[in-house]
């Protein structure tokens, strides 16, 4: 498994495929190990790297529903998964995430873990659409929420990033409104860890 993951990391670097970076990865793995999720929803499969991380560190009976827009990346993800022991727990939906989420049927009891790592400008839309799909005590992790330091920093973002930064700020405001509580980790490009049941966060403080 380690060899496969290293190969995927090398491929992502060479082909400029966005996967969770090394600093963010350690925090992400710690969260997965703590939560031990069983029913996972991932928005943004890419080459299937983070899905394998979750499969390896999650519950023994984990099932991952993952959404990907790119047909090429989805096919590559499946090729990588087939080389692991986790292919059977992966369910990939190809298409626009916003459209899929609007029609997706959640598992019994809902998704207990959601990982958002797709179009940054759509995080607010994704978050609103996943809410009816969540379990009573769900954890939602969103990657790249600090977006190069512009989201919470004082420096004005370049014009081409203004919309993304504005929408990520809206996302962070949204996920800190009841009944949600959120920790923002500076690891990598920023991870927002959101707890639907606030007692989970209080227990960690």
Specify the pTM: 0.91
**pLDDT at residue 198 greater than cutoff 50:** no
CATH code, 59: 3.40.50.150
- Does residue 48 form part of some domain? yes
Both tokens of residue 57?
């560190």
Rounded to whole angstroms, the Cα distance separating 54 from 186 reads 20
Number of structural domains (the chain) is 1
pLDDT tens digits for range 41-72: 999 999 999 999 999 999 999 999 999 999 99
- Does residue 205 form part of some domain? no
What mean pLDDT comes out for the span 153-172? Answer: 87
- Does residue 87 form part of some domain? yes
Give the three-state DSSP class for 14.
helix
pLDDT tens digits for range 86-126: 999 999 999 999 999 999 999 999 999 999 999 999 999 99
Look at residues 53, 42, 43 and name the one whose alpha carbon lies nearest to residue 8.
53
- Does residue 10 form part of some domain? yes
Provide the CB-side half-sphere exposure for 176 (13 A, CA).
Answer: 10
- Does residue 204 form part of some domain? no
Residue 164, domain extent:
2-199
């Amino acid at each position: 498994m380690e060899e496969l993951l290293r190969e995927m990391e090398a491929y992502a670097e060479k082909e400029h495929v966005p996967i969770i970076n090394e600093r963010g990865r350690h925090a992400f793995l710690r969260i997965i190990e703590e939560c031990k999720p069983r029913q996972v929803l991932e928005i943004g499969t890419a080459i299937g790297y983070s899905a394998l991380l979750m499969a390896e560190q999650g519950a023994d009976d984990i099932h991952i529903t993952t959404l990907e827009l790119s047909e090429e990346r989805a096919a590559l993800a499946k090729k990588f998964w087939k080389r692991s022991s986790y292919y059977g727990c992966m369910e990939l939906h190809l298409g626009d995430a916003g459209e899929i989420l609007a029609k997706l049927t959640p598992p019994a009891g809902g998704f207990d873990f959601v990982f958002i790592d797709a179009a940054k400008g759509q995080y607010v839309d994704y978050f609103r659409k996943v809410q009816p799909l969540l379990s009573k005590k769900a954890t939602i992790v969103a990657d790249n929420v600090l977006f190069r330091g512009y989201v919470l920093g004082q420096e004005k973002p370049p014009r081409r990033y203004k919309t993304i930064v504005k929408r990520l700020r809206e996302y962070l405001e949204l996920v800190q409104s009841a009944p949600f509580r959120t920790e923002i980790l500076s690891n990598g490009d920023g991870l927002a860890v959101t707890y639907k049941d606030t007692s989970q966060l209080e227990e960690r403080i």
